[in-house]
């Protein structure tokens, strides 16, 4: 096997607005090493095939097979209005791809599209007195964005039909994730893969076979970043096994790196020949040498195989990783960058960046320069190994990507972009007069002075996100976050004053968090919104992982871990017992309701206690805490 042809695949579901970058990085690296490497995005391909005129006809046939009593309201609405959907689906998809912007006027007037249950959400928006529930968000001149929001609701209606009539696991993002996420046994996933195929499976099988026919690969790489892409990745591998058993198949990606580190299930290798951990460059070079007969299996790097005895064996020949400065420039060649869908499901201007627009995803540095947060997987390579390169090399990569894609939007996907590198990058962009728009994730640390914030804005920064987490100085210290609430206020205000949108990652349910902590945290968040420091946020429920300091040293955080069952497949989240008397589910409902309104500019003067369903104590936070912090600033 001297000549290898390598096909990297993005399985459903990842993102629909822009390619997930893993295959772009690997393909660029392999080509730089003179390998024959191509890539395809089967996540996008699946959605484009299902949500087309031909696809809707197939969906209708499946719906009509259901007995009338089993047809949900969404299915009934779809069948009743099928001709309306049939005539609008292709134009709407073209509009969401940016190929027919003139359709915005017809969509925006709300007479063009059939409206199912998802449109009921419009009634929850606050009417500004105009009689138009969307006027507050888009105004008289926002017809294009208004139309994309309505088209997104239309697409979500159709996804509901697929889920309720064909595949109950179907989602645009978290597709069948319960089969894989922290799933100790492979049995549930194996049972799903052994079940008769449905229309979604059949469509994915056809797309897989078409890709095989186009590229004739000898090795297929499947990159699985999230639990919601695992089921489809195994379906793709199953199809390859059945129709092209000579093709070797390898599995890698963020999910594998996090959850399959203790893989012991031989049945996984009925689908895959190799499962690799952490950054893929060095394991792939070793794997390619092995497939060419240039090294033995015992010299593979960070790779699981099924050995001759039928047992799972982990092989890790000691070789240094490829330095971050040598991973090369990602390439999007082979990915249909003009066919991605620019969706608008959240109206908040910062929130929408995740699903709106075609962003070139790039990494400024490898790992995290802080790597101390107690809730984070700081023991894993993607966090713990911190490496940088030069600003000159980064801008070289940026210019090469712009030349290839024609797109000047960049999403820097670092865990936390280092301030020094951002400063150097901004200066180099300005020195070369390179025009881009960019956003990324940071830590709200004091290095981000107003002067640096303005420099970043001048270089093209439009938005940043960062972790405020529990918004409690006591808990931030316990988390080893390295920031305080007043510091966050000053840093975020500096960004906002420079015209940069700010998104705060928020958390509740951290060990020892009390009701008082939760109420106080919401008061801090209210004041940050009211002062214009942050424009967007999201409350995550704390989850304890086995790779985090909390998971490894629970006694330091006042909790007791729930013993895990025998794990042969996925291992990540671990249950814990916290004796603190609080109902986090109940409190979480109030937090999310408040945040939803704050992001829309509503009720910022209301007492935070009003958001909770139970009687809670008044905040202990001074009413003008954030304002005083900013005055001192």
Q: Is the pLDDT of residue 138 over 80?
A: no
**115 plus 202 within the same structural domain:** no
Q: Do β-strands 559-561 and 576-578 pair in parallel, antiparallel, or remain unpaired?
A: antiparallel
Domain check: are 396 and 436 in the same one?
yes
Whether residue 38 is contained in a domain is answered as: no
pLDDT, residue 123, reads 72
Looking at the structure, tell me whether residues 151 and 287 fall in a common domain: no
pLDDT at 129: 54
> Under a CB-based contact definition with an 8 Å cutoff, are residues 243 and 272 in contact?
no
CB atoms within 10 A of CB 375: 24
32 lies in some domain = no
pLDDT bracket for residue 140 (50, 70, 90): very low
Among 49-53, 355-359, 564-568, whose mean pLDDT is lowest?
A: 355-359
Interatomic CA distance for residues 35 and 41, integer angstroms: 20
b/e 527-550 (16+ beta carbons within 10 angstroms → b):
bbbebebbbbbbbeebbbbbbbbb
Residues in a beta bridge with 461: 438
Helices (H), 442-484: 450-458, 473-478
The predicted-structure confidence for 149-189, as pLDDT tens digits, reads as follows 999 999 999 999 999 999 999 999 889 999 999 999 999 99
Question: Residue 351 pLDDT > 90, yes or no?
Answer: no
Average pLDDT value for residue range 495-515 = 96
181-187-193-197 Cα dihedral, nearest 10 degrees: -100
232 shares a domain with 360: no
SS3 507: strand
Whether the pLDDT of residue 466 is over 50: the answer is: yes
Residue 320 maps to a domain = no
Q: Are residues 142 and 266 in the same domain?
A: no
Residue keyed to tokens 């394991």: 283
CB 342 within 8 Å of CB 358: yes
Same domain, 207 and 69: no
- φ/ψ (deg, to 5) at 467: -95, 115
* Contact call for residues 111 and 99 (beta carbons, < 8 A): no
pLDDT band at 632 (very low <50, low <70, confident <90, very high): confident
Q: Return the SS3 of 477.
A: helix
| pLDDT > 70? residue 390 | yes
Q: Calculate Rg over the CA atoms of the chain.
A: 25
**CATH code, domain carrying 485:** 3.80.30.20
Q: What per-residue confidence (pLDDT) applies to 355?
A: 85
pLDDT in tens, 235-244: 999 999 999 9
Q: Rounded to an integer, what distance in angstroms lies between the CA atom of residue 184 and that of residue 466?
A: 31
Q: What is the dihedral of CA 257, 259, 260, 265, to 10 degrees?
A: -170
Q: What is the Cα–Cα distance from 243 to 210, expressed in whole angstroms?
A: 11
Residue 134 pLDDT level (bands cut at 50, 70, 90): low
Provide the 3-class DSSP secondary structure of residue 218. coil
Instruction: Let me know whether 133 and 189 are in one domain.
Output: no
Asked if residue 101 and residue 208 are part of one domain, the reply reads no
Cα separation, 408 vs 428, whole angstroms: 16
Last residue of a domain, one of 104, 132, 165: 165
* Residue 324 lies inside a defined structural domain of this protein: no
Mean pLDDT of 323-336: 94
The HSE-up count of residue 91 (CA atoms within 13 Å, CB side) is 15
Which of 131, 165, 199 lies at the terminal end of a domain, its last residue? 165
Find the mean pLDDT for residues 53-67: 98
* Under 8 Å between Cβ of 276 and 302: yes
pLDDT confidence band for 141 (50 / 70 / 90): very low
Q: What average pLDDT does the segment 207-226 reach?
A: 97
Interatomic CA distance for residues 397 and 436, integer angstroms: 13
Residues 556 and 433 in one domain: yes
Do 199 and 84 lie in one domain? The reply is: no
Q: Quick one: 228 and 122 in the same domain?
A: no
**Residue 323 within any structural domain of the chain:** no
Boundary-marking domain end, from 142, 165, 188? 165
Q: Torsions phi, psi of 450, nearest 5?
A: -55, -35
**Average pLDDT estimate for 248-261:** 97
pLDDT value for 135 = 57
**pTM of the complete model:** 0.93
pLDDT band at 354 (very low <50, low <70, confident <90, very high): confident
Residue 29 falls inside a structural domain = no
Q: Is residue 58 predicted with pLDDT exceeding 50?
A: yes
* Residues 6+ away with beta carbon under 8 Å from 374: 478, 479, 480, 548, 549, 550, 557
CATH number (domain holding residue 277): 3.40.50
Which segments within 143-218 are labelled E, that is strand? none
On whether both 265 and 390 belong to a single domain, the answer is: no
Residue span of the structural domain in which 477 resides = 348-632
Ordered DSSP codes for 227-239: GGGHHHHHHHHHH
Taking Cα atoms as reference points, which of 110, 113, 135 lies closest to residue 125? Answer: 135
| Residues 311-321, mean pLDDT to the nearest whole number | 97
Does 380 reside within a domain?
Answer: yes
3-state SS class at 601: coil
pLDDT of residue 102: 94
Q: Classify the phi-psi angles of 444: left when phi > 0, otherwise alpha if psi is within -120 to 50, otherwise beta.
A: beta
pLDDT at 125 over 60: no
- Residue 346 is predicted with a pLDDT of 75
Kindly write down the DSSP assignment for every residue of 152-170, as one continuous string. HHHHHHHHHHHHHHT-TT-
End-to-end Cα separation, the chain, in angstroms = 65
pLDDT in tens, 583-599: 999 999 999 999 999 99
The confidence score (pLDDT) of residue 6 equals 98
The count of domains in the chain is 3
Average pLDDT across the chain, whole number: 94
Say what percent of the chain tops pLDDT 90.
90
Pair 38, 8: CB distance under 8 Å:
yes
The answer to whether residue 30 is domain-embedded is no
Mean pLDDT of the region 132-138 = 55
Predicted confidence at residue 492, as pLDDT, reads 96
């Amino acid at each position: 096997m001297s000549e290898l042809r390598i096909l990297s695949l993005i399985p459903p579901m990842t993102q629909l607005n822009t390619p997930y970058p893993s295959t772009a990085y690997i393909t660029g690296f392999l080509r730089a090493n003179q390998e024959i490497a191509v890539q395809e995005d089967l996540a996008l391909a699946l959605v484009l095939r299902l949500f087309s005129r031909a696809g809707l006809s197939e969906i209708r046939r499946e719906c009509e097979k259901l007995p009338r009593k089993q047809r949900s309201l969404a299915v009934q609405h779809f069948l009743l209005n099928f001709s309306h959907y049939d005539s609008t689906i292709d134009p709407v998809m073209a509009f969401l791809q940016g190929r027919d912007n003139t359709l915005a006027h017809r969509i925006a007037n709300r007479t063009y599209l059939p409206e199912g249950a998802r449109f009921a959400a419009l009634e929850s928006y606050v009417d500004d007195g105009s009689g138009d529930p969307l006027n507050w968000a888009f105004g008289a001149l926002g017809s294009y964005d208004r139309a994309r929001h309505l088209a997104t609701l239309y697409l979500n209606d159709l996804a509901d039909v697929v889920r309720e009539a064909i595949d109950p696991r179907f989602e645009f993002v978290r597709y069948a994730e319960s089969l894989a996420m922290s799933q100790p046994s492979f049995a549930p996933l194996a049972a799903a893969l052994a079940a008769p195929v449905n229309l979604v499976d059949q469509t994915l099988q056809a797309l897989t076979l078409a890709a095989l026919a186009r590229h004739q690969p000898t090795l297929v790489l499947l990159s699985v970043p999230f639990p919601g892409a695992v089921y489809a990745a195994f379906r793709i591998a199953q199809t390859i096994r059945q129709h092209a058993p000579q093709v070797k198949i390898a599995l890698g990606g963020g999910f594998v790196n996090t959850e399959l580190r203790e893989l012991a299930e031989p049945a996984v290798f009925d689908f895959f020949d190799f499962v690799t951990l952490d950054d893929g460059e060095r394991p792939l070079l070793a794997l390619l040498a092995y497939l060419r007969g240039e090294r033995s299996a015992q010299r593979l790097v960070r790779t699981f195989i099924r050995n001759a005895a039928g047992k799972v064996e982990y092989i890790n020949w000691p070789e240094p990783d490829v330095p971050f400065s040598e991973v090369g420039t990602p390439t999007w060649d082979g990915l249909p960058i003009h066919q991605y869908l620019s969706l608008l499901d959240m109206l908040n201007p910062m929130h929408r960046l995740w699903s709106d627009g075609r962003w070139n995803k790039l990494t400024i540095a490898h790992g995290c320069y802080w790597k101390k947060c107690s809730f984070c997987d700081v023991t894993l390579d993607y966090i713990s190994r911190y490496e940088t390169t030069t600003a000159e090399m980064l801008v070289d990569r940026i210019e090469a990507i712009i030349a290839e894609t024609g797109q000047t939007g960049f999403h820097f996907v670092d865990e936390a972009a280092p301030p020094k590198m951002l400063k150097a990058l901004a200066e180099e962009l300005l020195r070369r007069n390179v025009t881009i728009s960019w956003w990324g994730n940071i830590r709200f640390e004091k290095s981000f002075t107003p002067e640096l914030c303005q420099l970043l804005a001048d270089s093209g920064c439009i938005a940043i996100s960062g972790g405020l987490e529990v918004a409690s100085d006591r808990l931030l210290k316990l988390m080893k976050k390295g920031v305080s609430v007043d510091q966050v206020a000053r840093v975020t205000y500096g960004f906002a004053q420079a015209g940069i949108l700010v998104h705060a990652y928020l958390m509740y349910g951290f060990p020892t968090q009390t009701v008082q902590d939760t109420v106080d945290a919401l008061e801090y968040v209210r004041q940050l919104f009211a002062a214009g420091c942050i424009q967007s946020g999201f409350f995550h429920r704390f989850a304890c992982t086995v790779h985090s300091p909390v998971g490894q040293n629970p006694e330091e955080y006042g909790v007791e871990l729930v013993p895990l069952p025998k794990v042969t497949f996925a291992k990540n989240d671990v249950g814990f017992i916290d004796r603190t008397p609080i109902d986090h589910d109940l409190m979480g409902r109030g937090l999310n309701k408040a945040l939803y309104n704050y992001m829309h500019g509503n009720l910022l003067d209301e007492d935070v206690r009003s958001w909770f369903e139970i009687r809670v104590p008044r905040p202990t936070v001074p009413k003008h805490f954030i304002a005083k912090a900013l005055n001192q600033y």
